[in-house]
Amino acid sequence: MNMDAIVSLCRRRGFLFQSSEIYGGLNGFWDYGPLGVELKRNIREAWWRDMVTSHNELVAPPGAPSPFAMVGLDCTIIMHPQVWKCSGHYDLFHDYMVDCRESKRRYRHDQVQGRWVSKEDRRIFVATELVGAEAEEDILHKALKFFGLRAKDAESLCWESPVVCLTTVDDFSRVLAPDAKTLGTLTPPREFNLMFKTYVGALSGEENTAFLRPETAQGIFVNFKNVLDSTRVKIPFGIAQLGKSFRNEITPRNFTFRSREFEQMEIEFFCRPESSRLWYEYWRNRRYQWYVDLGLSRERLRLRDHDASELSHYSCGTADVEYAFPFLAPGDFGELEGIAHRGDFDLRSHMEGKLVRQGDRLVVELGPNGQPKHRGSGRDLSYFDDETREKFIPHVIEPSAGADRAALAFLCEGYQEDEAPDEHGKPTKRVVLRLHPRLAPIKAAVFPLVKKDGMPEIARDIYAALKPLCNVFYDEKGAVGRRYRRQDEIGTPFCITVDSQTLSDGTVTIRDRDTLKQWRIRSDDCPAAILGLISGTTQIPE
């Protein structure tokens, strides 16, 4: 898997462009091109369909403790500022940054690493932003340069540590920053809140400050009562929402992996406290399987339980679905989705005010005047069970995924270079994007073999019949082998070709992108066949 090749394909074939590229781009912002927008829509639609609209609330799905309901919401990006004060984002949603006085560059404290090295009586920490083997190379190169040595003198350097994070270093006067030539140019780490600020209305004072949401989840919590009162859902049930979120990341990086504007797909699942562990297990496994079912290989995907030190102060358990992205060092994984057991933290925060942990209890945080530091809504967000006549605050399981990270993982997984016979039967290199048919931007391409003998007319009729059902592409230009290659490269799973046999018996060939198998069907049957192949109800013939 070669990240440069994937990035180049995304640009060349219109999956992803840098935002505002003609003005030099804007770091951390990405635009989806004509094919990228289809891929991302398909991911969102697969998630919405699989989690919400196709969910049958009358039966318990495999592994679920009981039947449950699922509904959706679409909330605003800008919400009442108190939402973020009570949720904890206003006080706590920050990263630490360090600035380099020499290069004027800014780094995330925990994303700089380096090695201690000495030469004679000088001991320094050589820092880099790179990872894996590239980090080792960069550190060696910088150390040689700093001490004025040539590569052949590398053995005179005494390495005192493996690659460690800058967070382990106390004395910054010994640090050679990633883009600096002199020592001690980094400022001490400073907190940086990741929420983007804006102003509501014409005045731009502190009172009118609002935030672009850094997650979609809070819209669900503050509408919990509205959903209960306006529908007939009963616990256990889930509320799903997908949409844009914004984080002013200090160092956006790795293509779209860490962006400043991105899309989330989140579920808040409300259940009784005593069954919450079982629901946590259910969602943890279900969400992992979703990625497998859509084509991510188990070899590159893992479900990692957080250890106690990683858990947020309110979380009773969290697991991440992680993918071995090709831009990471071997053995490293990047988060696709987190599944968190959040207890009653969120609903209580919006009732009572911002909570903090005191021993093993969550209590309202008080300000210097002894009053709640951030006052809650005062609304009763508890649930009344009319069968057991009990009133309680539901516990929450939160599967929270990123649509852009999912798109990136599917692109990375799908990208392959193999060999396939060209139109003369000669094996030639082929770039193929093995996207699951549900996710592929174009489901089928329709070709007349040649632009004569009535073939284009038949192909256009097939195209017209398919067009209302799914996204299809018509192409009559160039050699048919080249047309296949262009579709393989963008992940089109099926190609339909009208040839001379079509003129005599009304059949066309269907070619499968992955196996390269070709078989014939009646041209009238194309709509049913393509829909069946996409949904998996029709199998590719043996």
Q: Cβ-closest residue to ligand GAP?
A: 402
Which residue, 313, 327, 281, 318, is CA-closest to 400? 318
**What is d(CA 430, CA 421) in angstroms, rounded to the nearest whole number?**
9
Q: Using CA atoms in the order 157, 158, 159, 160, what is the torsion angle rounded to 10 degrees?
A: -150
Q: How far is the CB of 535 from ligand GAP (least distance, A)?
A: 27
In terms of CB distance, is 322 or 488 closer to ligand GAP? 322
Q: Provide, rounded to whole angstroms, the least separation between the CB of residue 257 and ligand GAP.
A: 6
Q: Kindly give, in sequence order, each residue whose CB lies less than 8 Å from that of residue 21, ignoring residues fewer than 6 positions away.
A: none
In DSSP terms, which residues pair with 518 in a beta bridge? 511
Q: Shortest distance, CB of residue 111 to ligand GAP, whole angstroms?
A: 13
Cβ nearer to ligand GAP, comparing 52 with 336: 336
Closer Cβ to ligand GAP, 114 or 317, answer by number = 317
3-state percent breakdown (helix, strand, coil) of the chain, nearest 5: 30, 30, 40
Quote the least distance from Cβ 228 to ligand GAP, whole Å.
21
- Which C-beta is closer to ligand GAP: that of 138 or that of 398? 398
Main-chain phi, psi angles of 219, to 5 degrees: -60, -30
Query: Rounded to an integer, what distance in angstroms lies between the CA atom of residue 499 and that of residue 376?
Result: 69
Residue closer to ligand GAP, measured from CB, 337 or 475: 337
Q: Which residue has the tokens 């592994």?
A: 63
Task: Give min distance, CB of 73 to ligand GAP, in A.
Answer: 14
> Which CB atom, from 138 or from 268, has the smaller least distance to ligand GAP?
268
CA–CA distance, 51 with 286 (Å, rounded to integer): 10
The residue among 416, 478, 486 whose CA lies nearest residue 445 is: 486
**Smallest distance from ligand GAP to CB 294, Å:** 15
- Size (the chain), residues: 542
Q: In one letter, which amino acid is 334? A: G
Our CB check for ligand GAP shows the closer of 17 and 474 to be: 17
Sign of CA pseudo-dihedral 279, 285, 291, 292 = negative
Q: Taking the complex as a whole, how short is the minimal distance between the CB of residue 57 and ligand GAP, in angstroms? A: 24
Least distance to ligand GAP, CB of residue 301, Å: 13
The residues pairing with 385 across neighbouring beta strands, listed in sequence order, are 390
| Complex with ligand GAP: residue 215 or 488, whichever CB lies closer | 215
Cβ at position 454, least distance to ligand GAP in Å = 50
Smaller CB separation from ligand GAP, 138 or 215: 215
User: Considering beta carbons, is residue 124 or 403 the nearer one to ligand GAP?
Assistant: 403
Binding residues for ligand GAP (CB under 6 A) = 215, 217, 247, 249, 258-259, 262, 264, 266, 335-338, 398, 400-402, 404-405
> CB of residue 36 vs ligand GAP: minimum separation in angstroms?
15
The nearest distance, CB 141 to ligand GAP, in angstroms, is 30
C-alpha span between 510 and 497 (Å, rounded): 7
Burial 337-376 (b: 16+ CB within 10 A, else e): bbbbbbbbbbbbbbbbbbbbeeeeebebbeeeeeebbbeb
- Strand positions, DSSP E, 221-309: 237-246, 261-271, 301-305
Q: Toward ligand GAP, which CB reaches closer, 404 or 413?
A: 404
Residues 319/301, Cβ–Cβ less than 8 Å: no
**DSSP per position, 59-111:** SPPTT-SS--EEEE----SB--HHHHHHHSHHHH-EEEEEEBTTT--EEEGGG
